[in-house]
Amino acid sequence: MKKGRSHEISRILWKFVLPVSLIGTVWLVAFSCAVKGLAARPKGMSSPDLATILSSTATLALFVFSIFIAIALVVGWRIVEAKIREVVEAKTDQRLEKSENESRGRAFAILGYVIGENSVTPDFSAPLDEERLREAIFYCEQGYRFLKNTGLAAEFMALNNLLGYSCVLGDKSRRGHLLAEARRLRAAAEEHDAPNLLLTYARTILEFSLEPKELNDACSIVNDVRLNPRLNAKQKREADDLASLCQQRAGEQPGRNVP
């Protein structure tokens, strides 16, 4: 910390104190020359001759000062130019990195979707090929990692597929991670009024959660989504399947209050 402060102080001194000192030195030299010229004036020298000496001295000082200003402007412009170039390059690199991540994320997400759709049954009840389904989940997760926090629709498309395929696989080893991402999906679904994302959230909770309150809440969401007139045929089937699952769980555990 002290080293950083010392460096900052040195930088300030170099930028301000040195130029001021140089300017002061030039004027002091000019003043000294003028005083010496005045002291060494011959007895017969007229006032105009003295004025000429003083004028020449001042001109010399102004010339030296002008050279210093010119040098300072050239050096200063080069510093400014370098700074501008540095800022532009940094901004360009950031934009290129962002675009590259978005492109990679979309590519991984689409690849995961294509593999996943060919690895599960049409009703999403079971995997057709477990190994390929794991591969689809991997690609969906890679896509989601590249797209996360971008705010793009593709981000939640990748997350939606990741959770949906994970529910079909039923691997409980990543329960906590999947539940955390499901809660994030719910927030996005409610913000953008996306019933399909809410259904995926509810499916994930019913598949992985151990909290009775959270399970009851998921079933309430399912019942609310079933009443949404904007559901397409596939979403209606999914909502009905989840509602049946809620009723089944309620029957298995009578103490649970399922709407």
Q: What residues make up the domain containing 15? A: 2-99
111: exposed, middle or buried (Cβ count in 10 Å: 0-12, 13-18, 19+): middle
Residues 148 and 235 in one domain: yes
More confident residue, 78 or 238: 238
Give the pLDDT confidence score for residue 122 in this predicted structure: 85
pLDDT in tens, 119-135: 999 888 899 999 999 99
Q: Are 140 and 113 in contact (CB under 8 A)?
A: yes
**Domain end residue (candidates: 99, 115, 141):** 99
Residues 121 and 248 in one domain: yes
pLDDT in tens, 26-56: 656 666 665 565 566 555 555 555 556 556 6
Radius of gyration from C-alpha coordinates of the chain: 38
pLDDT in tens, 148-185: 988 788 899 999 999 999 999 999 999 999 999 999 99
Residues 63 and 177 in one domain: no
Inside any domain, residue 19: yes
pLDDT in tens, 85-94: 777 777 776 7
Angle subtended by helix axes 18-39 and 47-117, to nearest 10 = 170
- Give CA–CA dist 157/106, Å, rounded: 9
Inside any domain, residue 57: yes
**Domain end residue (candidates: 67, 99, 131):** 99
Residues 20 and 78 in one domain: yes
pTM exceeds cut of 0.75: no
Inside any domain, residue 132: yes
Of the candidates 159, 229, 233, which has an alpha carbon nearest to the alpha carbon of residue 200? Answer: 159
Q: Are 147 and 158 in contact (CB under 8 A)?
A: yes
Residues 164 and 240 in one domain: yes
Residues 54 and 128 in one domain: no
Residues 147 and 58 in one domain: no
10: left (phi over 0), alpha (psi -120 to 50) or beta: alpha
Q: Please give the tally of structural domains in the chain.
A: 2
- Give CA–CA dist 93/243, Å, rounded: 49
